[in-house]
Amino acid sequence: MRRGQINEAIRFAEGLMREYRFALPPFAAWTPADWRGKGPECDPIRRAMLGWDVTDLGRGDFSRFGLTLFTVRNGKAGTGRPYCEKIMVVRGAQVCATHFHWKKTEDIINRGGGDLAMEVWGAAPDDSLSPAPVPIERDGQRFEYPSGTRLALAPGESVTLEPRTYHNFFSLDPAGAVLVGEVSTVNDDAGDNRFLEPAGRYPPVEEDAPPYRLLCNEYP
């Protein structure tokens, strides 16, 4: 991805979060110069990879495939913080590619904007898409959907996804944007994502502009 794309995506996300009154922690606004002055007191942020995360999933077309995220908190399995919270921005025609998590259980919540579409499948023993019905919890109610069902979540609505539930999501308004919350067990992007098609979680960055904010995998 180009740094200019990343800068624009973060600025857009900041504006959308202000619009829907989702307040970010102070370190969300730290500049690269601020980070150069930070010492070991910030190691919890570094270790948990909290902060900004912009990805095109290795597809090279951020307008169609990708996501802007901010990880607010994240723990480690077996510790006193076995949970994670993220806030995400899905823009226009962007799709977060089909994937599941080996261990993570997550709630995906429409926090504002347009309707969020989500397609769901189970996983077969060989990790392909299963034709079997998919059990899904929607706002405290348990349902079973045919494989490949497309759900529509209005603002305030949510789904709970258990491990090995394939899913993708995107805005139903190709000209709009959706603010999406995630509350989950511990997040591990290095080892807990299984994409249906190969994807690059942290793409290389082409430095065509100075960084506006550092990404969560870039802290000094």
Predicted confidence (pLDDT) at residue 64 exceeds the cutoff of 80:
yes
Give the confidence band of 5 by pLDDT, cuts at 50, 70, 90.
very high
Sheet with 67-74: strands ordered across: 51-55, 67-74, 83-91, 177-185, 106-113, 158-161, 134-138, 141-145
Domains in the chain, CATH or no CATH each: 55-195 (2.60.120.10)
Question: For 95, phi and psi rounded to 5 degrees?
Answer: -120, 130
Tell me the pLDDT tens digit for each residue of 69-120: 999 999 987 677 899 999 999 998 899 999 999 999 999 999 999 999 999 9
Give the confidence band of 132 by pLDDT, cuts at 50, 70, 90.
very high
Reading the block at residue 49, the tokens are 């990879």
Say if CB 16 and CB 89 are below 8 A apart: yes
